[in-house]
Amino acid sequence: MARLPRRHKATAAQTGGQMSIIETTDVPGATPLHVHHREDESFWLIEGHATFEVGGTTVEAHAGDFLFAPRGVPHRYTVDAAGCRMLVITTPGGFEELVIAMSEPAAARTLPPPAAEEPDWERVAAIAHAHGCELLG
């Protein structure tokens, strides 16, 4: 699974279940179209550029931009060739459990080389489903 650098800035345990904040460094590529059934998801770009699609609307986001994806609304993002760093904020908290289940600890805070193979999408979908998310494509 993913070995991208991520830092859990605030967890559900630390916020009384109110929110989770994860700092993530993403490599070029796209997340699949998906929907969260339990939480709203927000993105605050710190560095880089990404293209977000939220509910059929496409937004080009740059460092300093903030985007909101309400629960129940399909969304995805694509990171350009330079990669990006952002805060992912979810309300209520608990989303970090999905991230932990889908990840392996990174050896360093640098981007790893590109993966040699595609993720096991069946496993990814099962983990997402167990945490209230649904992959749509």
What is the rounded CA–CA span in Å between residue 45 and residue 86? Answer: 4
Question: How far apart are the C-alpha atoms of 14 and 17, rounded to whole Å?
Answer: 7
CA–CA distances in Å: residue 137 to residues 34, 36, 58, 75, 93: 7, 14, 16, 10, 25
How confident is the model at residue 115, as a pLDDT? Answer: 67
Per-residue pLDDT at 3: 52
What pLDDT, on a 0 to 100 scale, did the predictor assign at position 105? 66
Assigned CATH for 6-135: 2.60.120.10
Q: How confident is the model at residue 20 (pLDDT cuts 50, 70, 90)?
A: very high
User: What is the pTM assigned to this prediction?
Assistant: 0.87
Q: What is the pLDDT of residues 87-112, one digit of tens each?
A: 999 999 999 998 888 877 666 666 66
Residue 65 has pLDDT above 50, yes or no: yes
pLDDT over 60 (residue 2)? no
